[in-house]
Structure 1
Amino acid sequence: MDPVTQRKINHTTYLELNSGHKLDSHDALDDFFGSRSIGSRSNRRPCREISPGVRSHGDSAEVELVTCVACTERWLKSYTFSTPCRHRYCPECLTVLFDNATKDESMYPPRCCEQVILLASVRSIITTELADTFADKAEEYETLDRTYCVNPSCGRFIPPSVMSYNHAGCHECGTSTCARCKKKYHAGHCLPDHDMEKLLKLAKEKKWQSCSNCRRLVEKRSRCDHIETIFQSRTTRIALVVKHLVQ
């Protein structure tokens, strides 16, 4: 059973103890969380409010509720995650935060108040599958010179750790890619890339600049000279000030 589901069941049990009546497991979970897929708020129903001061059976400690900063619902403090900035996230919203980071590079790394939330600190909360997927995407996002499988029907990221010199073998489909020119693997020197030459010529004419880290081309269309790159690391977001993009 995954950690998020276990916490839902724990909450249901607690509500039974303090409400004085038995709750159907499925109805209770739907009542507490709402029937919805991860990330959807349209069907969200507020959780059952437990007033501070209500005591659980056999426990003399008062119930302490905190608010999830993402969904604003009330949670037992012991079931929430505290970020480095001391905001609180419920298990489901924390899962959404990490899941989004695996699908959108601009959402990586997961953070709150610009402070990074490390994977190691949430492994006991999110599912093992999501943790493994996130770790793989983190390696991809933090690789500057990335190589993807040249096979159009595959396109999987090939980590530098599995490469041998310029040979990048895809473990998914078995296709070999040249890590230097990013085309089908070949012996000897890479052939000139005429398409790239045309692009660089156009970039020079348009006065586009390239990021000093990831080499992506950027174009300034308006406003100030501050440009923030997509590339980010676990500890900080890389921001570049590109001057005189437009003369």
Structure 2
Amino acid sequence: VECYFCKEDCPISTTILTSCYHRLCQTCITRQIEVCIQDERTYPPKCCGNKLQINELHLTDRNLHQRYELKVREYDTPAPSRVYCYRCSRFLSSSFATIASYSSDGDLERNTKLCSTCSSWTCINCKLADHPGKPCQETAEDRVFKLLTKQKGWQTCPICKAVVERNGGCNHMICRCTAQFCYHCATRWKQC
């Protein structure tokens, strides 16, 4: 049968049938998954606008399957709620160990996650190293970066708060979190 993406002839046993009734070869499926892992804007993998379900992909490479499942958890978490290890940058999903402690009057005092890769604790609120018993504080680097952002006229994504620099073209920005916004006023695209 012919692969819908690459147009190569493949044994039917090495293809999948999508919900839109196209046949895709294992090479094209693997390539699409690898691109999704590298670039969130290409997630989820699709054929004819229909999402390819992980169970229909029949990924034979277990490592690729595990990496993809980790990215699915990351991408399916709203960008403002994502927490990355302050030391190694690994995404800390909801399945990671969490410590939350409260003061006697019910205020949240500590909210941290443990990274299983480097064993570091990251504060969920400020996204920096855990600081038990101390409030979140802006670091000197944060202050310098905010000043530089203002001086250079860079903009902040209204969804995930990533700093974005326009290097030409129009004011329509597409952030790595897939949010679309106006570079001029930092509001969602077509709301200004």
Q: TM-score, normalised by structure 2?
A: 0.72
DSSP-derived class of the 2:169 partner: coil
Q: Name the counterpart of 1:170.
A: 115
Q: Is the 8 A contact 2:59 2:65 kept in 1?
A: no
Structure 2 vs 1, CA of residues 68 and 217 (structure 1 numbering), >3 Å: closer, same or farther? same
Q: Name the counterpart of 2:135.
A: 189
* Equivalent of residue 231 in structure 1, options 152, 177, 186: 177
Partner amino acid for 1:177?
A: T
Aligned-pair CA distance for 1:127: 3.7
DSSP-derived class of the 1:231 partner: coil
Q: Name the counterpart of 1:159.
A: 93
Mapping of residues 95-174 of structure 1, within 5 Å: 95-122=30-57, 124-143=58-77, 144=79, 145-151=81-87, 154-162=88-96, 163-165=98-100, 166-174=111-119
Q: Is the 8 A contact 2:157 2:175 kept in 1?
A: yes
Q: TM-score, normalised by structure 1?
A: 0.58
Q: Is the 8 A contact 1:95 1:126 kept in 2?
A: no
Which residues of structure 2 form unaligned runs of 5+?
101-110, 187-192
1:70 has 2:5 as partner: yes
Q: Which is greater in Rg?
A: 1
Separation in structure 1 between the aligned mates of residue 138 and residue 176 of structure 2, nearest angstrom: 28
RMSD: 2.7
Separation in structure 2 between the aligned mates of residue 243 and residue 87 of structure 1, nearest angstrom: 42
Structure 2 vs 1, CA of residues 211 and 92 (structure 1 numbering), >3 Å: closer, same or farther? same
Q: Name the counterpart of 1:199.
A: 145
Q: Is the 8 A contact 1:69 1:89 kept in 2?
A: yes
**Residues 81-120 of structure 1: per-residue CA shift (max 9 Å, x gap):** 2445554311222122113322343433222444432323
Separation in structure 1 between the aligned mates of residue 180 and residue 50 of structure 2, nearest angstrom: 15
DSSP-derived class of the 2:10 partner: strand
**Residues 187-207 of structure 1: per-residue CA shift (max 9 Å, x gap):** 220232221222222222333
Partner amino acid for 2:131?
A: H
Partner amino acid for 2:136?
A: C
Structure 2 vs 1, CA of residues 78 and 161 (structure 1 numbering), >3 Å: closer, same or farther? closer
**Residues 171-197 of structure 1: per-residue CA shift (max 9 Å, x gap):** 233222222223221122023222122
Partner amino acid for 2:36?
A: A
Separation in structure 2 between the aligned mates of residue 217 and residue 204 of structure 1, nearest angstrom: 11
Identity of aligned residues (%): 30
Mapping of residues 205-224 of structure 1, within 5 Å: 205-224=151-170
Separation in structure 1 between the aligned mates of residue 153 and residue 28 of structure 2, nearest angstrom: 42
